[in-house]
Amino acid sequence: MWDRIQRFITILFLCVVWATTAHATQLHIQNPSYANKRVEIYTYCSPINMTRMVLWEGSFNASGELSTTIDLKQITKGYMDLGTYQFEFFMEPKAKYDLVLSDYKPKSEAQKSSIYFKRQPFMVGFKKLGREDINIQLQHFNTVYRKLSRQNAESLFFQRNRARLREVLAQLDSLDDPSKAYLHYHVAIRKSELTASVEGWNSDKIITNQLTKLPYLPCHATYISYFNRILDNDLYKRAMSLNHEKLKQAVSKEDLTTIRSILIQDGITKGLVDAYILKGLHDALYYKSFSKKSVQGLINKMKHTANKVIQEEASQVMVEYREKMEQEIFIDMEKITFTTASEKMDIVWKGRYQYWAFIDLKGVNAKQQISELNTLSKQLGKVLNVAIVIDVSEIDNPLIKDIRGSLVYSNRKRYDLKKLCQVSGTPTYVLLNKELKVLQKSALRPDVKFQNYFMGFYREEYIKEQRAKYNSTK
């Protein structure tokens, strides 16, 4: 009797296990270089604030093997951050994947300390993947898309040959399968991008002619990228244009109904308008394009009046906004005294990046630290203002005469920079942007590593600034 009960329990247990895994995606990885490494498998399902959604977290075993299952309701793009790589791959519900990863490559010391370090995107390899799998289909389409774009570059992008464009689009259509939604919308977006590039459309035309014809796809990786690129700070650009004074006023008054009405008149569909508004409000937090009061008020209204998906994203945006305000440190220019230490150097410090050194002028290494800072100032002085922060009580220290950069005077009673920048010891080096916002509270010491890092960072920021200027003139 007891044996029968045990068999029944065993069968029941196996049925439960089968039921929970039958609809799950199975993943397997084997690579000894990842032994005991911890990893998160995550995705993004919120185009506006890009909230990371963790699907699974755990560790490789001692031999570098990982086996797990993930419950998925739809095709999902997964990511894994390991060392310097951000591995990417697509997963279908109920599929089995044997992933192949490049060997582990650890981050350097400079990369570890840099808040601007970005992992290298890297598509994983697979063992025994069927032709109908989404990874193979997307890879094949992208290969053909790049090949056709390259082969027809002159007629498409220089001659703007519309007849040739129609031929290329027809070839891309032959790779589409409307019954497979993820692939279908990927193809549609790539065709839209190609058409807009050949026709030379600006963002307004792309939005009304293409983006509004797509459904809102918050979990589609290609759509997320397209949505964010096309709508980057677009609400502000539209509100500041010559014929949109009413839109600007509506934002200022936190009048969500009027904002919606104006945008719908502009051709933005009802299905997209709330996402468009929330995207604009989110971007305003970073571009500082609208007043904080207006942005907060409108986001709060969207948390209660928009559709459910946008309600959730609005709540996430508000959380992000509050965290950002708590984390950001800005130095008030009006409350500090900033001078050049040497009469021979007339340094214009406003509007440049800042590298502030908190050192102990009475310490045994003070002279060496000042020498290193002087060298940095000589090397990067045209784009980076190097300064030593001293307390007003240290103004008579004889080492000040050796400083070739600038001096920032801190007053502990009135405006304590050491406390504001959260400096817990010396030496500490702080990197600030042109608006005196703290970028790094513990920057690299002033040596060749920092010089190389900063010039790379400076080039990236310069390119971003030039793109922003170009986009604002479109």
Sequential DSSP letters for 168-218: HHHHHHTT--TTSHHHHHHHHHHHHHHHHHHHT--HHHHHHHTGGGSPP-T
DSSP per residue, 248-275: HHHHHTT-HHHHHHHHHHTT--HHHHHH
Q: Where are the beta strands (DSSP E) in 269-366?
A: 337-340, 353-358
- pLDDT at position 473: 56
As a CATH number, domain 333-463 is: 3.40.30.10
Q: Which amino acid is at 262?
A: I
Q: Where are the beta strands (DSSP E) in 118-228?
A: 120-123, 125-126
DSSP per residue, 407-446: EEEEBTTTB-HHHHTT--SSSEEEEE-TT-BEEESSPPPS
Higher pLDDT, 90 or 3: 90
Pairing relationship of beta strands 85-91 and 120-123 according to DSSP bridges: parallel
- Cα–Cα nearest to 267, from 203, 187, 186: 203
Quick one: average pLDDT of 354-382?
89
Quick one: average pLDDT of 233-239?
92
Encode pLDDT of 325-344 as tens digits.
656 677 777 777 766 655 44
Give per-residue burial for 448-464: e unless 16+ CB within 10 Å, then b.
eebbebbeebeeeeeee
Q: Boundaries of CATH 3.40.30.10 in the chain? A: 333-463
Gap between the Cα atoms of 265 and 253, Å rounded = 19
* CA angle 465–240–295, rounded 5-degree value: 85
* Residues pairing with 112 in the sheet: none
- pLDDT at position 190: 97
pLDDT beyond 50 at 20: no
Q: Strand, coil or helix: what is 220?
A: coil
As a CATH number, domain 23-129 is: 2.60.40
Instruction: Look up residue 121 and give its two tokens.
Output: 């995107």
Q: Which amino acid is at 238?
A: R
Q: Boundaries of CATH 2.60.40 in the chain? A: 23-129
- pLDDT at position 9: 43
Quick one: average pLDDT of 426-444?
86
Largest alpha-carbon pair distance within the chain? 100
Instruction: Count the Cβ atoms, other than its own, within 10 Å of residue 302.
Output: 22
Q: The tokens 């519900």 sit on which residue? A: 93
Give the least confident one: 130-144, 215-229, 238-252, 347-361: 347-361
Q: The tokens 């690299």 sit on which residue? A: 444
| Helix, strand, coil shares, percent, the chain, to 5 | 50, 20, 30
Total count of residues recorded for the chain: 474
CB 273 within 8 A of CB 260: yes
CB 53 within 8 A of CB 45: yes
Encode pLDDT of 58-88 as tens digits.
999 999 999 999 999 999 999 999 999 999 9
